[in-house]
Structure 1
Amino acid sequence: MAASVTPGGCGSNVGSLYYSLCDLSAVWGIVLESFAAAGVVGSIILLIVLLASLPFITDKNKRRSVGLHACFLICTLGLFCLTFSFIVGKDFATCASRRFLFGVLFAGCFACLLMQCVRLNLLARSGDQGPQAWVLCLGALGLWLVEVVINTEWLIITIVRYPLSPLNVTGTALGTAANVPCNIANQDFVMALIYVLNLLLAVVVASLPSLCGKHKQRRQEGAFLLITGLLSVFIWVAWITMYVWGNLMTGGPSWDDPTLAIALVSNAWVFLVLYTIPEICTLTQEDGGAPGFGEDLNPSRGVGYETILKDQGAQNMFMENKAFSMDENSDPKVVSPYSGYSGQLRSSVYQPTELAIISKGMGNVSTGHQLFVYMRTHARIHPQIVVLFFNYLLKRKRTLINIHLFKYSSLLFCLDADVHVMAHVYR
Structure 2
Amino acid sequence: MVAVSRTLLPCLWLLVGLPVELCLAQATPDPPPPPGCSKDLNSFYYNLCDLSVAWGIVLEAVAGFGIVTSFVLTVVLVASVPFVQDYRKKSLIGTQAFFLLGTIGLFCLTFAFIVKQDFSTCASRRFLFGVLFAICFSCLAAHTMSLNFLARRNHGPRGWIAFGMALLLALVEVIINTEWLVITVVRSESASQDPCQVSNEDFVMALIYVMFLQVATFLAAWPVLCGRYKHWRKHAIFILITSSFSMAIWIVWIVMYVYGNQQRGGSTWDDPTLAIALAANACVFVFLYIIPEISQVIKPGPEQAYEDDVYPTRGVGYETILKEQKSQSMFVENKAFSMDEPSSAKKPVSPYSGYNGQLLTSVYQPTEMALMHKGPSEGSYDVILPRATANSQVMGSANSTLRADDAYISQNKPAVAQKDGKSGQASSPYSKNRW
Same fold (TM over 0.5): yes
* TM-score of the two chains, using structure 2 as the length reference: 0.64
Counterpart amino acid of residue 159 in structure 1: V
CA distance in 1: counterparts of 2:143 and 2:272, whole angstroms: 32
Structure 1 equivalent of residue 202 of structure 2? 188
Q: Does 1:253 align with 2:267?
A: yes
The correspondence for 1:243, drawn from 232, 242, 257, is: 257
Structure 1 equivalent of residue 316 of structure 2? none
Structure 1 equivalent of residue 175 of structure 2? 149
Structure 1 equivalent of residue 225 of structure 2? 211
Counterpart amino acid of residue 80 in structure 1: F
Question: How far 1:130 sits from its partner (Å)?
Answer: 1.5
Q: Is the 8 A contact 1:215 1:288 kept in 2?
A: no
Q: Does 1:136 align with 2:162?
A: yes
CA distance in 2: counterparts of 1:294 and 1:82, whole angstroms: 47
Query: Against the structure 1 CA distance between its residues 164 and 324, is the aligned structure 2 distance closer, same or farther, given a 3 Å change threshold?
Result: farther
Question: How far 1:291 sits from its partner (Å)?
Answer: 7.3
The correspondence for 2:50, drawn from 4, 13, 23, is: 23
Structure 2 equivalent of residue 6 of structure 1? 33
Task: Say which SS state the counterpart of residue 182 (structure 1) adopts.
Answer: coil
Q: Is the 8 A contact 1:20 1:26 kept in 2?
A: yes
Structure 2 equivalent of residue 75 of structure 1? 102
Query: Against the structure 1 CA distance between its residues 53 and 164, is the aligned structure 2 distance closer, same or farther, given a 3 Å change threshold?
Result: farther
1:83-120: per-residue Cα shift (whole Å, max 9, x none)? Answer: 00000011111111100000000000000000110010
RMSD, aligned α-carbons: 2.7
Task: Say which SS state the counterpart of residue 254 (structure 1) adopts.
Answer: coil
Question: How far 1:162 sits from its partner (Å)?
Answer: 1.1
Query: Against the structure 1 CA distance between its residues 137 and 44, is the aligned structure 2 distance closer, same or farther, given a 3 Å change threshold?
Result: same
Task: Say which SS state the counterpart of residue 62 (structure 1) adopts.
Answer: helix
Question: How far 1:216 sits from its partner (Å)?
Answer: 4.3
Structure 1 equivalent of residue 297 of structure 2? 283
CA distance in 2: counterparts of 1:54 and 1:16, whole angstroms: 46
Question: How far 1:217 sits from its partner (Å)?
Answer: 3.5
CA distance in 2: counterparts of 1:280 and 1:14, whole angstroms: 41
Question: How far 1:324 sits from its partner (Å)?
Answer: 11
Identity of aligned residues (%): 50
1:139-195: per-residue Cα shift (whole Å, max 9, x none)? Answer: 1111011001111111111111016566xxxxxxxxxx6xx1111111110011011
Counterpart amino acid of residue 160 in structure 1: V
Query: Against the structure 1 CA distance between its residues 163 and 221, is the aligned structure 2 distance closer, same or farther, given a 3 Å change threshold?
Result: farther
Q: Is the 8 A contact 2:119 2:195 kept in 1?
A: yes
Q: Runs ≥4 in structure 1, deviation > 6 angstroms?
A: 294-297, 322-325, 328-332
Unaligned runs of 5+ in 1: 167-176, 298-313, 333-427
The number of aligned residues is 298
CA distance in 2: counterparts of 1:210 and 1:41, whole angstroms: 33
Q: Which has the larger radius of gyration?
A: 2
Structure 1 equivalent of residue 88 of structure 2? 61
Q: Is the 8 A contact 2:150 2:229 kept in 1?
A: no
CA distance in 2: counterparts of 1:238 and 1:192, whole angstroms: 17
Greater shift, 79-88 or 8-17, is seen at 8-17
The correspondence for 2:245, drawn from 224, 231, 243, is: 231
CA distance in 2: counterparts of 1:165 and 1:78, whole angstroms: 33
Q: Is the 8 A contact 2:146 2:157 kept in 1?
A: yes
Q: 1:348-363, aligned counterparts within 5 Å?
A: none
Q: 1:338-357, aligned counterparts within 5 Å?
A: none
Q: Is the 8 A contact 1:165 1:183 kept in 2?
A: no
CA distance in 1: counterparts of 2:115 and 2:252, whole angstroms: 23
